[in-house]
Each structure stands twice: as structure tokens, then as C-alpha cells.
Amino acid sequence: MGAGQAGLSAAHHLRRTGFEPDRDFVVLDHSPAPGGAWQFRWPSLTYGKVHGMHSLPGMELTGADPARPSAEVVSGYFAAYERAFDLRVRRPVDVRAVREGSGGRLLVESSAGTWSTRALINATGTWDRPFWPRYPGQETFRGRQLHTAQYTGPAEFAGLRVVVVGGGASGTQHLLELAPYAAATTWVTRREPVFREGPFDEEAGRAAVALVEERVRQGLPPRSVVSVTGLPLNDAIRRGLADGTLDRRPMFDRIVPDGVEWTDGTAGARHVDADVILWATGFRAAIDHLAPLRLREAGGGIRLEGTRAVADPRIHLVGYGPSASTVGANRAGRAAVRDIRRLLAGRPVAA
């Protein structure tokens, strides 16, 4: 379930290896249209600004105009992909819970009825679970607070003083976009941001993914792959560092009605006035519907071996943890299908 990059990759590999849609598998997706979470991304996130979107398996995305919103480019491409491979995604279908059924089957309860299945590929991404940290005084703030998931572009912040929280790619992109519109911007992050010089080669990519993979193997909640790769030093970031837009301050200690405050004034002013706090603080895996299966470990994550849940070999998580990137999602879809074919054929899945 889920028809983003990870779910479509899995559906493609099911189809390619002889599974028929509607007869042998269904893809359920609760978004209104093709595109996965990309369809909800802000219009100023043009295709030229995304970090490297890998094509889905078997059909390249070529010739996309870098000035077009990535939401349009990717939604159009996913729609064409679903048609080309006849994946018959059912939408909008909201999966509400997955439970143990009878005879070793799982019951998938949704807004469009209940399916009974021998295996499940969970590809529900993170967009539906924006993460908002809590800080003292947050409820007293008189201005507006919003999360990246609600950001629609810089124009609505014209003339306002904005505090952007978060050291990831979204935070820096928000700041660079907002700076020409806002009356003032302030950037705060929990950790010192790490900027990465030079191209991100395959070896560095593998090392970053391995770090996230290790957490998932231990049953800890995954961190985003981006959090371990660092921020690429592109021209826009260089300009932002040079002109002060990306002058980072440590995390504030509390929120007050008219701004944010630091107890220790050594890193600059103790108080910054703010009309808006924009939380670019990331997302968590949208997997609440799996709760009845009790897959979570004491550490808070679901322990995986590859894409397979260690506690239940019928369940695969793709686009989760180490596979939460477009390239990772592609590979995970293929790996999950390979493993499920073994399971259904009665062969050992651990091989």
C-alpha cells in the first residue's frame, strides 16, 4: 500500500515477475491523484531544486523542465508510469489498520473495505506524519506556526519576521526562498549544520545508507538518509552563507508570545521578535495502521532485515529508513518482491 516511488517500484516488480493486478495484488493509495507525496510539495520547489530524483524502474523520466514545480513533473510522470505498466492503483483508499486474520493471512482494513492477504508491502512514506518538536511556551506564541508540510511558498510571508527551525534541506530551501520577501529571517538548528563539499559519490552514499540501516537493524526509529549525508554546498547555499541568510543560531530555549528566547546570550541576542515560526523539522514514518501487529521494538522502531520485518516475514517496509530516498525506494521495491516470491513459494526467506 502506498503509490509513491517505493510502492510503484514494488508494483512494477510484482508485475514484471508475473503477478497480475487485481488478481494477485492490489495497490491502495489514499492520495487523490498519482504522484505520492510529491503532489503535495510547494510550487516553488521546482524540479531543478530537488536533489536528484531517480526514475522509477523500467521507464526514464527525461526532458523535464527544471523550472516546473516538481509536484507537476513527478505527478505527470507517475501517472504515465501507472498507465504504461497497467498498475491499476486504487485511490483514494485509506488503509486504517492491518490485523492478523485467519489461516496465516493479514486483514487490511480500509475506507474501501477489507482485503485479506498473504503478504503486505508497506510503502506509506512519511509525508502524513510531520514531526513537530515541543518547546516551552509554544502554546503562548501569538504569531503563526506551521510545518514544512503546510508551506506553500514565500509570498505569504512578505514583510513578516520568520524563524525557521531545522537543519535539513527543507530548512535551508525555505530560508533562501523567504529571505527576499520576509522582513527578517532567523535560522535555528539543534546541531551545527554540516555542509558537504564536492559531489556525493556512490561510496559516500552507501556509507550514509549503512548508518541508517544499522539503526533499523537494531529496532531503533530510523533517521533520515539526508540527516547523515549533510547538506550539499551548491551555489544557492554558498550565496546564503556569504550574505548571512544561512547564519545559524543554536536552538532557542523557549517561545514567548512575541518571539523566541535564549537563556545564554553568548551566541547573539537573547530575544528575537517573530511573527512566524516555520518548523522544518522533518517527518516520521506513517505506520500507525500497523500498530495492531505490534511490530515495534522497545527502541521504538521496527526491526528489519533488508526490507522484511524481523517479527513477521509477511510484512515488508519499503521507503522506510535506509530506503527513504528515490534510489533506495527503487531498490527496496525489488528486494521486497524477491523476498515475497520466496515466501509464497514456501522457500526460506532468509536465504
Ligand X SMILES: Cc1cc2nc3c(=O)[nH]c(=O)nc-3n(C[C@H](O)[C@H](O)[C@H](O)COP(=O)(O)OP(=O)(O)OC[C@H]3O[C@@H](n4cnc5c(N)ncnc54)[C@H](O)[C@@H]3O)c2cc1C
Nearest to 302 by CA among 216, 189, 237: 216
Q: Smallest distance, Å, CB 141 to ligand X?
A: 24
Asked if 85 touches ligand X (CB under 6 A), the answer is no
Q: Which of 11, 95, 164, 212 binds ligand X (CB under 6 A)?
A: 95
Asked if 326 touches ligand X (CB under 6 A), the answer is yes
Asked if 280 touches ligand X (CB under 6 A), the answer is no
CA–CA distance, 220 with 213 (Å, rounded to integer):
10
DSSP SS3 for 278: strand
Choose between 125 and 219: whose C-beta lies nearer to ligand X.
125
Q: Which of 12, 15, 215, 289 binds ligand X (CB under 6 A)?
A: 289
Q: Which of 164, 286, 309, 340 binds ligand X (CB under 6 A)?
A: 286
Choose between 94 and 261: whose C-beta lies nearer to ligand X.
94
What is the size of the binding site for ligand X (CB under 6 A)? 33
Which grid cell is 225? Answer: 538518509
CB 11 within 8 A of CB 27: yes
Choose between 233 and 267: whose C-beta lies nearer to ligand X.
233
Edge-to-edge strand ranges of the sheet holding 304-305: 120-122, 312-317, 308-309, 304-305
Which grid cell is 105? Answer: 493471512
CA–CA distance, 98 with 93 (Å, rounded to integer):
14
Q: Smallest distance, Å, CB 244 to ligand X?
A: 24
Asked if 186 touches ligand X (CB under 6 A), the answer is no
Q: Which of 33, 50, 251, 344 binds ligand X (CB under 6 A)?
A: 50
Strands (E), 75-205: 95-100, 106-110, 113-117, 120-122, 144-147, 161-165, 184-189, 195-196
Q: Which of 10, 27, 28, 290 binds ligand X (CB under 6 A)?
A: 28
CB 212 within 8 A of CB 322: yes
Asked if 31 touches ligand X (CB under 6 A), the answer is yes
Interface segment toward ligand X; rule CB under 6 A; list 3-11, 194-202, 239-247, 264-272: 3-11
Asked if 175 touches ligand X (CB under 6 A), the answer is no
Site for ligand X in 96-155 (CB under 6 A): 123-125, 127-128
240-247 LR contacts (CB < 8 Å, sep 24+) = 240/172, 240/175, 240/176, 240/179, 241/195, 243/179, 245/175, 245/176, 245/179, 245/185, 245/187, 246/172, 246/175, 246/176, 246/187, 247/187
Q: Which of 30, 248, 316, 334 binds ligand X (CB under 6 A)?
A: 30
Q: Smallest distance, Å, CB 290 to ligand X?
A: 9
Residues that bind ligand X (CB under 6 A): 1-7, 28-31, 36-37, 41, 50-53, 94-95, 123-125, 127-128, 170, 286, 289, 319, 324-326, 329
